[in-house]
């Protein structure tokens, strides 16, 4: 209710401001000023001009008073002339440059009125437009406040949104309501929460009543209360029915879980709790067993982390023993190498060069890992990445090509930053090949390195080297096998065929330009 009342008061303030603005607009109408100043004795001409102004701002009535507060014109009663102006306080407030908007009872109706001086160029009269407050206005306000609205003054009401106006008569029999307090009124056999808002007035005590039906407001809560009651009774009945059955099956599984926890605490991570139940205790037992498996794997990871670097490789090794040896698998190999880095390093201090190289590798490694690849090794300013080992994906070729495109974009961005700092720019060459290679642990019994070897690796390195030649003018060169394995269309340029040193078979190569 109070929120609706705040909205209502803001709407009323805006309404008064609009009425004051309308009065000011009318008072500044040059044609009417001349008609009024030059034809004071010609009432018909003045009334016609006044009616035109009234329709212009859609006012319901317009009054004109002389400077000594005598009524000169009334568009509702054209014959009225002379006598005191009925709302002298509005003129007093306008003379003191105060807001002249107010609600006034007039001819058994309630109007919102304002006063503005008619200038020619000095004040020659007072202009007072009025706007009727009726049921239509109340309905308009209701759309914003979500409350029933009734406008009252004394023993009369002037507009209401209640369905039957006779309901409003009940309000009139109530003692004056305390302003801005929520009061419970019973109207037409229905309880209403009522909030009285005094209106700015020139005379009388007009108020607006904001009302909401208590029954309508409470209806959703009553339905929810009944629903909860039914659910509670149903739950109680079910609980009584299954309580005994649950109690019989709880003791034994709980004792088994307690025994398992004791053995795990003693360091026996191989112990498993055997429960065939498919209820909450069975889920708990399954989680318990997974926990013991995780603890066992944690100990194995401690050993493996000293032998491998990549988390993906460590995860792969957890599924098998960390021994020397490998297996054949299809892998997409990516080689990248920086161009002009040597000339850049000659112009930089070692610490600055190392900072730039680390920033480059950090960005490139993040891109490779984002696309599911693994950085196999760093070699000076070059790196080698694998897609398909140790973890394989059906779209490894696509992942490698997309990573390469993103790496060149990232390097372009780094070059722009370095150029702003006055540093020389660098280029990159990337070679990608997809082939069957040997992937596995290589090195010694005490120090392992998970990597891949084979002609496919050599070809990827060769393709990276070809990016240095002016003949191809390509930043990324891919093999035909990589393009054949792609599941997405790419823009490429055929470069011809090339063979690995020592091999007679050739492979078709392409410059990778972008995604199609």
Helix/strand/coil for 20: helix
Q: Do β-strands 190-198 and 206-213 pair in parallel, antiparallel, or remain unpaired?
A: antiparallel
Q: What is the rounded CA–CA span in Å between residue 210 and residue 142? A: 9
Q: What is the rounded CA–CA span in Å between residue 432 and residue 332? A: 7
CB 426 within 8 A of CB 411: yes
CB 207 within 8 A of CB 179: yes
Q: What is the rounded CA–CA span in Å between residue 402 and residue 406? A: 6
Nearest-10 crossing angle of helices 280-304, 251-265: 10
The pLDDT value recorded for residue 165 is 53
Residue 40: φ, ψ to 5°:
-60, -35
Q: What is the rounded CA–CA span in Å between residue 131 and residue 112? A: 5
Q: What is the rounded CA–CA span in Å between residue 153 and residue 134? A: 13
Which residues are CB-contacts of 304 (< 8 A; sequence separation ≥ 6)?
Answer: 314, 317, 318, 322
The pLDDT value recorded for residue 175 is 46
- Range list for CATH 3.30.450.220 in the chain: 1-215
CATH fold of 322-515 reads Alpha-Beta Plaits (3.30.70)
The pLDDT value recorded for residue 350 is 83
The pLDDT value recorded for residue 309 is 47
H/E run at residue 369: helix 350-370
How many residues appear in the chain?
Answer: 516
Helix/strand/coil for 424: coil
Q: What is the rounded CA–CA span in Å between residue 405 and residue 397? A: 13
The pLDDT value recorded for residue 306 is 40
CB 48 within 8 A of CB 12: no
Identify how many contiguous H helices and E strands the chain contains and give both numbers.
15, 19
Q: What is the CATH number of domain 1-215?
A: 3.30.450.220
CB 133 within 8 A of CB 159: yes
Q: Residues 192-244: pLDDT tens digits? A: 788 888 887 777 778 888 888 777 777 788 888 888 888 888 888 888 777 76
Nearest to 336 by CA among 478, 196, 435: 478
The pLDDT value recorded for residue 59 is 83
Digitized pLDDT (tens) for each residue of the chain, 516 residues in all: 667 667 777 877 777 777 777 777 777 777 676 667 655 567 777 778 778 877 877 888 888 888 888 888 888 888 877 788 888 888 888 888 766 678 888 878 888 888 888 877 778 888 888 888 888 888 888 888 888 888 877 777 788 887 655 455 555 555 467 777 777 777 766 777 888 888 877 777 788 888 887 777 777 888 888 888 888 888 888 887 777 666 666 666 666 666 777 777 766 766 677 766 666 666 777 776 777 777 777 666 555 544 444 555 555 555 555 444 578 899 999 999 998 887 777 777 888 888 888 888 999 999 999 999 999 888 888 999 999 988 889 999 999 999 999 999 999 998 898 888 877 788 899 999 999 999 887 766 666 677 888 888 999 999 999 998 888 889 999 999 999 999 989 999 999 988 766 667 788 999 999 988
The pLDDT value recorded for residue 399 is 95
Strand partners, 183: 194
Helix/strand/coil for 216: helix
Residue 344: φ, ψ to 5°:
-65, -45
Q: What is the rounded CA–CA span in Å between residue 49 and residue 127? A: 13
The pLDDT value recorded for residue 421 is 81
């Amino acid at each position: 209710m109070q929120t609706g009342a705040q909205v209502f008061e803001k709407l009323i303030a805006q309404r008064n401001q609009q009425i004051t603005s309308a009065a000011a607009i009318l008072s500044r109408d040059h044609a009417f000023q001349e008609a009024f100043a030059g034809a004071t004795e010609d009432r018909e001409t003045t009334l016609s001009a006044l009616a035109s102004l009234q329709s212009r701002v859609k006012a319901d009535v317009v009054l004109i008073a002389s400077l000594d507060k005598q009524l000169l014109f009334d568009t509702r009663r054209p014959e009225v002339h002379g006598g005191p102006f009925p709302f002298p306080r509005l003129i007093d407030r306008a003379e003191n440059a105060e807001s002249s908007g107010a609600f006034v009872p007039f001819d058994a109706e309630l109007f919102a009125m304002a006063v503005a001086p008619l200038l020619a160029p000095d004040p020659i009269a007072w202009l007072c437009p009025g706007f009727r407050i009726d049921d239509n206005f109340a309905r308009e306000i209701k759309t914003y406040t979500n409350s029933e609205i009734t406008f009252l003054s004394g023993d009369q009401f002037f507009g209401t949104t209640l369905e039957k106006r006779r309901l409003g008569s009940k309000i009139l029999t109530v003692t004056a309501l305390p302003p801005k307090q929520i009061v419970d009124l019973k109207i037409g056999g229905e309880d209403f929460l009522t909030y009285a808002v005094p209106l700015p007035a020139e005379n009388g005590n007009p108020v607006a009543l904001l009302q909401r039906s208590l029954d309508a407001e409470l209806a959703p809560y009553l339905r929810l209360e009944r629903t909860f009651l039914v659910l509670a009774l149903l739950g109680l009945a079910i609980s009584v029915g299954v309580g005994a059955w649950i109690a019989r099956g709880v003791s034994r599984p709980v004792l088994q879980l307690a025994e398992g926890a004791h053995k795990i605490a003693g360091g026996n991570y191989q112990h498993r709790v055997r429960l065939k139940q498919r209820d909450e205790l069975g889920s708990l037992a399954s989680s318990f067993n997974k926990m013991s498996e995780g603890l066992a794997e944690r100990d194995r990871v401690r050993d493996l982390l000293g032998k491998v670097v990549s988390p993906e490789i460590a995860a792969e090794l957890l599924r098998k023993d960390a021994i020397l040896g490998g297996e054949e698998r299809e892998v997409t190999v990516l080689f990248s190498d920086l161009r002009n880095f040597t000339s850049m390093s000659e112009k930089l201090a070692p610490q600055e060069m190392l900072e730039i190289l680390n920033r480059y590798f950090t960005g490139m490694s993040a891109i490779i890992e984002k696309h599911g690849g693994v950085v196999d090794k760093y070699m000076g300013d070059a790196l080698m990445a694998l897609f398909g080992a140790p973890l394989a994906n059906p779209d490894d070729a696509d992942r490698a090509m997309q990573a390469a495109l993103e790496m060149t974009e990232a390097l372009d961005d780094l070059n722009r930053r370095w150029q702003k700092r006055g540093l020389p720019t660098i280029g990159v060459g990337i070679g990608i090949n997809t082939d069957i290679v040997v992937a596995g642990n290589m090195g010694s019994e005490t120090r392992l390195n998970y990597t891949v070897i084979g002609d496919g690796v050599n070809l990827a390195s060769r393709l990276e080297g070809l990016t240095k030649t002016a003949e191809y003018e390509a930043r990324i060169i891919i093999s035909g096998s990589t393009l054949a394995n792609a599941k997405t269309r790419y823009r490429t340029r055929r470069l011809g065929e090339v063979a690995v040193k020592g091999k007679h078979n050739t492979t078709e190569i392409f410059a990778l330009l972008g995604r199609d």
